[in-house]
Amino acid sequence: MSPSICKLASRVVTESPRTTPSFFSEFTLRALDCRRPISTYGYTQAKALVYPKNGSIPDVLNLHTHSISPPHSTLLTLRTLSAPLNPADINQIQGTYPTAPPFTTSLGTPTPHAVPGNEACFEVLSAGSNAKSVKKGDWVIPRATGLGTWRTHLQCEEDKIVRVDKEGLDSKQVATVNVNPVTAWRMLKDFGGGVREGEWFIQNGANSGVGRAAIQLGRMWGLRSIAVVRGRPGEEGEKLKRELEELGADQIVSDEELMEKSFKDRVKEWTNGGRDKVSLGLNCVGGDAAMAMAKVLSTGAHMVTYGAMSKSPMRVGASMLIFKDIKFDGFWVSRWADQHPEEKSSTVESILQLIREGKFKDVPMVEVLWNWDSKKEDLVDAVQGTLEGYRKGKGIFVFGDT
C-alpha cells in the first residue's frame, strides 16, 4: 500500500468511523500504521535484537529489521508474546557462558550475528503443509535453549518447539516455565533420592526465580526450608520476608546472619535439636557463603550448585567429605533437558497445571513493552538494567503491536 493511500485510509477510518466504506473497514489502524512495513506476498516483517560478537551489552547489541518468507514443509512462523531476560542470556552476550546461540547471516545481516534469549512464549502465525503437531493460534515454547527469543517474530522447524495448552495461563507464565521452575523441581527430586517429607533444605538466592519456585514446591511436598537472602534495610527487608513466608519458607535469614557463629545453633533449634535432617543445600552464590550453608547440612546430605553469582571459589573442608560424607553436585538444567526430553516435557506440564490451579505463583516481573516502533536504545537499556543491583522483579519483554 502506498504512503498516500495509507494516509488517506487512516484519515477516513479515524475521522468518520460510522461512514467508512466497507473497503476500508477491513483494515485496522494497526495495518494502516505506515511506520510499520506491510507484509506483502505472505512475507512477515520482523525485528530482532542481534549481536555480531561477544562484549558489553551497549557496545554489541543492535536492533535489526528483516523479512520472513511464508513457511513451507515443517516450518512454522511464530510471533513472540513474551520473552524473559535471564542471567544466562546476558552471560551469553558477554561470552562468559559455556554455550552460545548460532551466529549466522540468515536474518540478512552483512556478517554473522546471533539472536540472544532462550525462553519465550510464541503464537503460531502460520505453518507449512507438513506441520502436524501445531496449528495457527497455538502457543508454543522452545524445546531447547539457543533458539534466540529476543525478537518479534521468527521461523523455525516444527521440532524446535513444544505446544502448550494455553487455557488458564497468560503468556508471561508460559514464557518463564522452562528454566527456573524446572531447575527447582529437579533439584528437589533428583539428588539423594529427593528430599523426603518432613526433612529440611537450605538455599541461598531464595528471592530468585529458582528460590521462589523451590519454596513453593517444597511446601506442597511437605518439605521445610531455610531461605537465605541478601540483607535489605528496613521495610524493604521486612516486605521480602513476608513475601517468602507467604510462599511457604519456614525460616528466612540474611546472608549476614548466615555467616554468624551462632547460625549453626539456630539451625539445630529449628530442626528439633538436629534430629530432623537438613538433607539438601541449593547454591547459586558460591564462595564462603556457600560453605557456611554446607556446614549445617546433615551427614550424607547433598550440596547442589546451579549458579555462581559471587564468582568466588568454594573451599571445601576435608571434614565435610570424610566425616559428614557431604556430596557436592552440580546441576545445569539445559544439559539435563537435552538428556531427558520426555521428563522435561512432563515436568513443564506439571508446573503449568499447578499455575492453572492457583497453587504456584509467578516470580515478580518488570514488564518491558516491545512494540513495532520501540527504540533500540530503550530495549538495550532494559537488558543492561538486569545487571544493576536490587530490582523489583524479573525483566521480561512483553510484545504488543508488532
The CA distance from 365 to 376, in Å, is 21
**C-alpha cell, 119:** 525462553
The CA distance from 104 to 112, in Å, is 4
Four-residue CA torsion sign, 77, 79, 84, 90: positive
**What are the residue numbers of the active site?**
97
Q: What HEC string does the chain produce?
A: CCHHHHHHHHHHHHHCHHHCCHHHHCCCHHHHCCCCCCCCCCCEEEEEEEECCCCCHHHHCEEEEEEECCCCCCEEEEEEEEEECCHHHHHHHHCCCCCCCCCECCCCCCCCEECCCCCCEEEEEEECCCCCCCCCCCEEEECCCCCCCCECEEEEEHHHEEEECCCCCCHHHHHCCCCHHHHHHHHHHHCCCCCCCCCEEEECCCCCHHHHHHHHHHHHCCCEEEEEECCCCHHHHHHHHHHHHHHCCCEEEEHHHHCCCCHHHHHHHHCCCCCCCEEEEEECCCHHHHHHHHCCCCCCCEEEECCCCCCCCCCCCHHHHHCCCCEEEECCHHHHHHHCHHHHHHHHHHHHHHHHCCCCCCCCEEEEEECCCCCHHHHHHHHHHCCCCCCCCEEEEEECCC
Q: Do residues 152 and 80 lie in contact, with contact meaning Cβ atoms separated by under 8 Å?
A: yes
